[in-house]
Amino acid sequence: MTAQTALVDKAPQFKHSQPVRDTARTSRRAKYLLTVLAFLLPSAIPLAIFVLGPMIAAAWVSLNQWNLLAPMKFVGLGNYVGLLQDPQTGSVFLNTAYYVAGYLPLVYFGGLALALALNTALKGRSLLRGVYFLPVITSWIVVALVWRWLLSPSNGIVNTVLAWVGIQGPGWWTDPAWSMPSIILASAWKDLGFVMVILLAGLQAIPTDMYDAAKVDGAGPWRRLISVTLPLLSPSTFFVIIISLVNGFQVFDQIYAMTGGGPDGSSESVVEQIYDFTFRYGRAGDASALSWMLFIVILAVTLIQIRGQRRWVTYG
């Protein structure tokens, strides 16, 4: 049995026609399994040791009371029960959901429009791409400073411009009703370039003769966008949506830097709360329990997305 026939045999569409002995089949299967392992282990080993391991350890911590210094005290599901009874928990989850619901459509449609525009034969497009990518690589510390200043209620540029056209601007990050919109706006602005880059790579991978074929069939630009570009881009779109959801539910840096969760806890997110539990109040057990609650929410939302992808994601 040569290696070549063994490999040919793996692809279902090239199945051997003559009967093969059982031992040969078993050894082929073992060989295939070894190939799978060879491709998977380089990533599986570090993920298991450095992410899954600590995740399981965090699950154990969540069943204990622990201030990081004194020995742990086992409390069973006590931390979870306490968190579920605390109205603060509902409030941080609501704030986080508010953030995701505002951020996701803004960043996706904005990034898509940008990617489509910068994929045309626009003059100076590589320079423009670089400029739109600048906020992605700038640290939140700087971005938060600039946005707090832009959205300053008294002398910020945004309210100054609004005043010119006779609109009294809101208090932005100083107003409990406007703190979350301010953070959503700044976050979408910063992450547009990220979505643009992913979708541009997806657009670049669409074979040009697909467009030629559509043109021959008499499809106009709008038709080509709907029937060629968007379906062929759907794997990248799916990726962007999952990543934005996963990151959106873990929103922290911008809140920490822009409002610190205020005013009146109006922008306190789940991870902001987890951070406070761990590093301010020494409640590592509660922090771990809240993390696992967040994990379950994110996992559920992601699984729903993965289930739903069959309906709209097409692969080559």
Partner 1 sequence: MADATIAIRTRARWAARTPASRRGLVIAIILHVAIIGGALAMFFPFLWTLITSITPGANLTSTPALIPANPSFGAYAKLFSDLPFAQVILNSLLLASVTTAVQLFTSSTAAYAFSRLPFRGQNVVFAIYLATMMIPLQVLIVPLFVELKTFGLLDTYLGALLPTFASAFGIFLLRQAINQVPRELDEAATIDGAGHFRIFGQVILPNIRPALATLVVFSFMSSWNSFLWPLIVLRSPQLQTLPIALAGLQGQYISQWDVIMAGSVVSILPMLALYVFAQKYVIQGVASSGIK
Q: Which two tokens stand for residue 7?
A: 């490999």
Would you say 20 or 131 has its CB closer to partner 1?
131
Burial class (CB within 10 angstroms; exposed 0-12, middle 13-18, buried 19+) of 66: buried
134/177 with CB nearer partner 1: 134
Q: Which is nearer to partner 1, 150 or 176 (CB)?
A: 150
Rounded CA-CA distance 285/65 in Å is 5
Indicate the residue among 176 and 242 with the shorter CB distance to partner 1.
Answer: 242
Nearer to partner 1 by C-beta: 180 or 271?
271
Instruction: Write down the least CB distance from residue 122 to partner 1, Å.
Output: 7
Shortest Cβ 261–partner 1 spacing (Å): 14
Instruction: With beta carbons less than 8 A apart as the criterion, state whether 59 and 293 touch.
Output: no
| Closest CB 13 distance from partner 1, rounded Å | 7
Tell me which residue of 183, 190, 178 sits closest to 100, measured CA to CA.
183
| Count of CB atoms situated within 10 Å of the CB of 141 | 10
Q: How far is the CB of 188 from partner 1 (least distance, A)?
A: 12
Residues 6+ apart with CB under 8 A from 27: 1
Nearer to partner 1, 145 or 177 (CB): 145
Give me the least distance between CB of 311 and partner 1, in Å please: 16
Residue 279 CB, nearest distance to partner 1 (Å)? 8
